[in-house]
Amino acid sequence: MNGQAWLLLLDGAWVTVWISAVAIGLGVVLGLLVALLRMARIPFLDQLLILYTSLARATPLVTLVLFVFLAAPGWGLNLSREAAAILALTANTAAFNAEIWRGAFLGFSRDQRESALACGMTPWLLFRRIMLPQMLAGSLPGLVNEMTFLIKGSPAIAVIGLVDLSRVSNRIGAVTYEPLPPILAAALIYMAILGVLVRLQALAERKAGRLAM
């Protein structure tokens, strides 16, 4: 492949990275919020959240992306392709993250919670100073694993016309009639992206471990 092909691949990689990064950030926060609301056990709301997490996890990502993009105008939303992709990816990954956070919450020691409250801690202080650091330390492997799945599933955004890394590699192969080199190059770029994510996980685990001590 020539230099122009590599530039096109890097442009596609940037689309993959920034859209995935925004969806990951929103998905982690939204997943935590959904998990906390689930733990509050508000009857009607709890049933709605169960329905949301079940549907979002069961729906193929490409179907979810297409549904959001096509349904948004009917909801009165004038979404760009990028916004529709971010909304769909966020809805998908937040549903998985909610279950990861909820599992960490359920695994938190009841005795430790009761002891902190008995010492005069408010529920918010207990959550922020004791529970959240321990939940984060326990959830990091699962959260990062979900992030890798989201990045690997991100080629679904091409269905609404976004030119991501996967789509660029297919286009180059169609033009050059040599599909293997651009596919291999795209695979290397994906590996590099995921390698950075795994490295960040190791750093975050060390930081979370110190906070949880």
pLDDT tens for residues 186-200?
999 999 999 999 888
What is the C-alpha separation between 11 and 165, in angstroms, rounded? 8
- Domain range for 67 is 3-212
> What is each CA distance from 22 to 15, 19, 90, 103, 140, in whole angstroms?
11, 5, 8, 24, 18
Pair 96, 146: CB distance under 8 Å: yes
What tokens were used for 24?
């990951």
Q: What is the pTM of this model?
A: 0.89
Contacts of 31 (CB under 8 A, 6+ apart): 93, 94, 95, 96, 97, 98, 100, 101
So what's the pLDDT on residue 198?
86
**Interhelix angle 132-153/81-106, nearest 10 degrees:** 140
pLDDT digits (tens, 9 = 90+) for 144-179: 999 999 999 999 999 999 999 999 999 999 998 888
Q: How many domains does the chain divide into?
A: 1
- pLDDT 10s digit of each residue in the chain, 213 long? 788 899 999 999 999 999 999 999 999 999 999 999 998 888 899 999 999 999 999 999 999 999 999 998 888 888 999 999 999 999 999 999 999 999 888 877 777 777 777 777 777 777 777 787 777 777 888 899 999 999 999 999 999 999 999 999 999 999 988 889 999 999 999 999 999 998 888 887 777 666 555
What tokens were used for 27?
């998905």
CATH number at residue 107: 1.10.3720.10
